[in-house]
């Protein structure tokens, strides 16, 4: 099921979507390790380099727990929701817009650019280079090989537009 929040625009990240809400919250902790690593690298200095190494180890732990491959330097805007973070693979050259939602077993192969508030169903494969417009929905198990316009819903193998907002 795809869920859209109406009160948050596609341009402004909703950081509460990444909040750690309980002790065992692997998706949020994986995202925290990526965010903290990127912050340490941006800050520079000796202490930041030491802390960056800590966050690399933290990322390795949560990547192993979730069996996901999300590179530490991937450009991810705020508000990314990984509802079931198992088996997600994201190419390091991919760019993820604000308030996106990615379900389990999703693969972004190659430089895939996601707009704001894109929802990707379980098992979908996006084979780049391609871009997905704002508020698009990718159906479960879809194989996307072409650009997806904003507001479109695509599904199938190969993915075709089944609805347009």
Residues 117-131 pLDDT 10s: 999 999 999 998 999
Residues 29-84 pLDDT 10s: 999 999 999 999 999 899 999 999 999 999 999 999 999 999 999 999 999 999 88
Whose tokens are 């030491």? That residue is 50
- What are 109's strand-pairing partners? 127
Q: Is residue 15 part of a domain?
A: no
Residues 58, 101 share a domain:
no
Q: For residue 128, what pLDDT is reported?
A: 84
Q: How many domains does the chain have?
A: 2
The boundaries of the domain holding residue 35 are 23-66
Residues 120, 90 share a domain:
yes
Residues 24-41 pLDDT 10s: 999 999 999 999 999 999
CB 63 within 8 A of CB 101: no
Q: pTM (2 decimals)?
A: 0.87
* Token representation of residue 105: 């077993």
């Amino acid at each position: 099921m795809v869920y859209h929040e109406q009160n948050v625009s596609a341009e402004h990240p909703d950081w509460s979507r990444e909040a750690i809400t309980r002790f065992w919250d692997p998706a949020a902790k994986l995202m925290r390790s990526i965010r903290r690593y990127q912050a340490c690298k941006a800050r520079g200095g000796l202490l930041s380099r030491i802390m960056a190494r800590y966050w690399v180890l933290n990322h390795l732990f949560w990547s192993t727990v979730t069996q996901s491959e999300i590179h530490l330097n991937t450009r991810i805007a705020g508000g990314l929701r990984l509802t079931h973070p198992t088996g997600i693979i994201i190419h390091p050259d991919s760019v993820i817009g604000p308030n996106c939602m990615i379900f389990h077993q999703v693969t972004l192969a190659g430089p895939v650019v996601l707009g704001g508030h894109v929802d990707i169903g379980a098992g979908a494969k996006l084979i780049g280079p391609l871009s997905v417009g704002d508020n698009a929905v990718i159906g479960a198990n879809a194989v996307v090989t072409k650009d997806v316009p904003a507001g479109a819903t695509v599904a199938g193998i190969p993915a075709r537009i089944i609805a347009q907002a």
